Amino acid sequence: MPAYKAVPGAAQRYPLNEPAIGTAYPESVYPQNAQLPLLFQPLTIKGMTFKNRIWVSPMCQYSSDNGYATDWHLAHIGGLATRGAGAICMEATSVVPEGRISPADAGLWEDGQIEPLKRIVSFAHAHDTLIGIQLSHAGRKASTQAPWVHSGLGHGHSWVATEEEGGWPNNVWGPSAIKFSDTYPQPKEMDEAHLQYVEDAWIKAVERCEKAGFDFIEVHAAHGYLLHEFVSPLSNVRTDNNGGEPLENRLRFPLRLISRLRAAWDKPLFVRVSATDWAEGPEKGEDGLWKQWGIEQTKFYVGEMQKIGVDLIDCSTGGNWVHQQIPVGPGYQVPFAEELKKAYPNLPVGAVGLITEPDQADGILKDGKADVIFLARALIRDPHWPVFAAAKLGVAVKPANQYERGWSDMLDHTVINSKK
């Protein structure tokens, strides 16, 4: 009779999962696992092996208390860590208080914020799930309200979190003093001392990530937040060497920051980019000047990041132009990931955006358009997506011990099918 095994070294007594949750059972028991779809094949990046290619995309929960993670985060992230995801990237977490999108955002600007994150990280690790964090600064899109507050009754048209509501609309910063929209705060232009302050805060946050035990860091350089604001000609009209033309000027601050982050962090370092602003008109005008951010500049930017030693590009789009026109549909951002993959075949790329079906996700990998799939809303609707995906693709994967009885029919069925 096998003994009840506990996870060695864990903070509490948890039953050990063998094999790891979300990985294939041995082929000797389930012969169909001899040939795994790519979605369930491991991937090694910088010596770290991710057990499958279904990764949790960062998702703001607007549930932090002065930047501190709460038990909501433990329940939410813990729920995903026990259901087979290959990796979890925790939400946009600001390196300075005024870099939060909303007053309820996550932060890592002081040491006290390490402890609740450490608890979540050790829970994920006890369940064989690698976990990272998205470090961020919201730039000109800071001091806004959580979506449900904004859209709730009585908040009117404005997105601004006022001082009475815990916001800081007079302490909002960007590359240039250009508002995102009439309903957003008025940003002030950052000077060199401010850039240095933000950069140093980012490095301190990286040191705190190390103490919390995170496996990887993702830099948020997308969605119209600070780093995206710097690279786009729509939000950066500076006349110093951090703006305007040539393109190298707009990339200077983000690349200088990413270089320092690379030097400060020796585990996997990822960057989420927006590959286009989705603004009207071409990326480059007939006059030879860049008119908006787009894939051509993104390719150059990503090439520079590869030289710095970035380990993966998570390819998203949009968020910097209030009038953006996005042709939303299944996998609508995948063509951008594919372009990056073609340009840099040796650089791992993540695809994200309306990827909802297991065949669709595996197809993107099989076609060589990306190396991993980030999922957000599909996992909100169904945190068990990885195990359902396995069933759909004919793979027998390990559910958590405690949940096995919920999946026994599926596993029996896959055994029967494999013996036919």
Ligand X SMILES: Cc1cc2nc3c(=O)[nH]c(=O)nc-3n(C[C@H](O)[C@H](O)[C@H](O)COP(=O)(O)O)c2cc1C
Q: Is the peptide bond before 383 cis (omega within 30 degrees of 0)?
A: no
User: 63 vs 259, which CB is nearer to ligand X?
Assistant: 63
Instruction: Report how far residue 343's alpha carbon sits from residue 350's, in angstroms, rounded to the nearest whole number.
Output: 14
User: 186 vs 356, which CB is nearer to ligand X?
Assistant: 356
User: 176 vs 316, which CB is nearer to ligand X?
Assistant: 316
Give the nearest distance from C-beta 374 to ligand X in angstroms.
6
User: 146 vs 255, which CB is nearer to ligand X?
Assistant: 146
- Quick one: DSSP state of residue 219? E
Give the nearest distance from C-beta 282 to ligand X in angstroms.
25
Instruction: Report how far residue 108's alpha carbon sits from residue 381's, in angstroms, rounded to the nearest whole number.
Output: 28
Per CB under 6 A, residues contacting ligand X are: 57-60, 91-92, 134, 220, 222-223, 272, 316, 352-355, 375-378
User: 57 vs 276, which CB is nearer to ligand X?
Assistant: 57
Give the nearest distance from C-beta 119 to ligand X in angstroms.
20
170 burial type by CB count under 10 A (0-12 exposed, 13-18 middle, 19+ buried): exposed
Which pairing describes strands 48-50 and 312-316: parallel, antiparallel, or unpaired? unpaired
Give the nearest distance from C-beta 58 to ligand X in angstroms.
4
Instruction: Give residue 122's identity as a one-letter amino acid code.
Output: S
Closest C-alpha to 224, from 264, 272, 288: 272
Give the nearest distance from C-beta 29 to ligand X in angstroms.
32
Give the nearest distance from C-beta 253 to ligand X in angstroms.
19
Give the nearest distance from C-beta 85 to ligand X in angstroms.
13
Give the nearest distance from C-beta 88 to ligand X in angstroms.
12
* Residue sitting closest to ligand X (CB): 376
User: 312 vs 375, which CB is nearer to ligand X?
Assistant: 375
User: 57 vs 292, which CB is nearer to ligand X?
Assistant: 57
User: 24 vs 302, which CB is nearer to ligand X?
Assistant: 302
296 burial type by CB count under 10 A (0-12 exposed, 13-18 middle, 19+ buried): middle
- Would you state the structure tokens that stand for residue 373, as one six-digit string? 């799939």
Q: Is the peptide bond before 330 cis (omega within 30 degrees of 0)?
A: no
- Reduce the DSSP state of residue 316 to 3 states and report it: strand
Instruction: Give residue 325's identity as a one-letter amino acid code.
Output: Q
User: 161 vs 352, which CB is nearer to ligand X?
Assistant: 352
Instruction: Give residue 50's identity as a one-letter amino acid code.
Output: F
CB 85 within 8 A of CB 70: no
User: 59 vs 334, which CB is nearer to ligand X?
Assistant: 59
Residue labelled with tokens 């003093």: 177
Q: Report DSSP letters for 48-110, one per residue.
A: EEES-SEEEPP---S--BTTB--HHHHHHHHHHHTTT-SEEEEEEEESSGGG-SSTTSEE-SS
Neighbours of 166 (CB within 10 A): 13
Give the nearest distance from C-beta 392 to ligand X in angstroms.
17
Give the nearest distance from C-beta 377 to ligand X in angstroms.
3
150 burial type by CB count under 10 A (0-12 exposed, 13-18 middle, 19+ buried): middle
